[in-house]
Amino acid sequence: MNKKGSHVGMVISFLIFILLLLFIYTALQPAIKLQRDKQVILDGVKNKLTHYFDINLTTLIIETNKEDTGTVDCLSINLGELTTDYSEKHFFVRTIGGDSENFGVEGDQLKIEWDGSSGRLYKIYISEQNFTLELFSPTNCVSLTEIDYEIRTTQKDKYLGLEKITDFMNHFVENKTVNKEYFGVPKDSDFDVSISSDEINFPFSENNLATNIYSDEIPLQYVNTQARIIPFFMRVRVW
């Protein structure tokens, strides 16, 4: 038996196996690098988009302690007692049951429809995002001091804002060059965004795409113009 020849054959087979692995690695390396680079771009766009759409939402629950059996039809609260820099904020009011309540903002006063009874609970939403305001024209308001109502709870959250989303998506295509710079997308790459919910639908704007498309779908929530939390999907793709 030729043991020397057997060992030489094993060494040659091993070398061939190593060379084959090196060949496969070399052949696949460009594709692996491309995938890694595109994934980095994709993650960067997703993170910057969610940060770009961020808004603050403060929710107060107040309870009236005052009672007025006269002809009043609204209560008036000084906005400075509810939040600082109120001139830069927007407001929305609901009943504790979740129904929209008639209200208006006049100067530094928040005026809410009121039947004059004590123990009424209201949810007041405060944000930098615009909310839809209905025309509210009370005829006889009573001003509440700090002893006439109580702030039961205060909750501060961060959500995505519908106003920011729609503004961005409405101008996405025309601002493509600026967007690429802001989101750190290289000149030899490109990206697209799609947003969809029960209220809005912004499909992808790009068609006839090349191969090597990398995409992701993210379930998120935004605050709409009536201070409701709406689930939606954001889809991002790069190529």
Torsion of CA 204, 225, 55, 45, to 10 degrees: 0
Instruction: Give pLDDT tens digits for 81-127.
Output: 999 889 999 999 999 999 999 999 999 999 999 999 999 999 999 99
Q: Residue ranges per domain, the chain?
A: 56-158
| Residue 99 CB neighbours (<10 A) | 8
What confidence score (pLDDT) does residue 156 get? 96
- What's the mean pLDDT in 187-196? 93
- What's the mean pLDDT in 33-55? 87
Instruction: Give pLDDT tens digits for 9-24.
Output: 666 776 676 766 666 6
What confidence score (pLDDT) does residue 135 get? 86
Nearest to 199 by CA among 164, 159, 167, 233: 233
**Residue 76 pLDDT > 90:** yes
- 231 Cα distance to chain centroid: 10
Q: What's the first-to-final CA gap in the chain, in angstroms?
A: 60
| Per-residue CA distances from 184 to 50, 75, 80 (Å) | 15, 50, 40
pTM, whole model, 2 decimals? 0.81
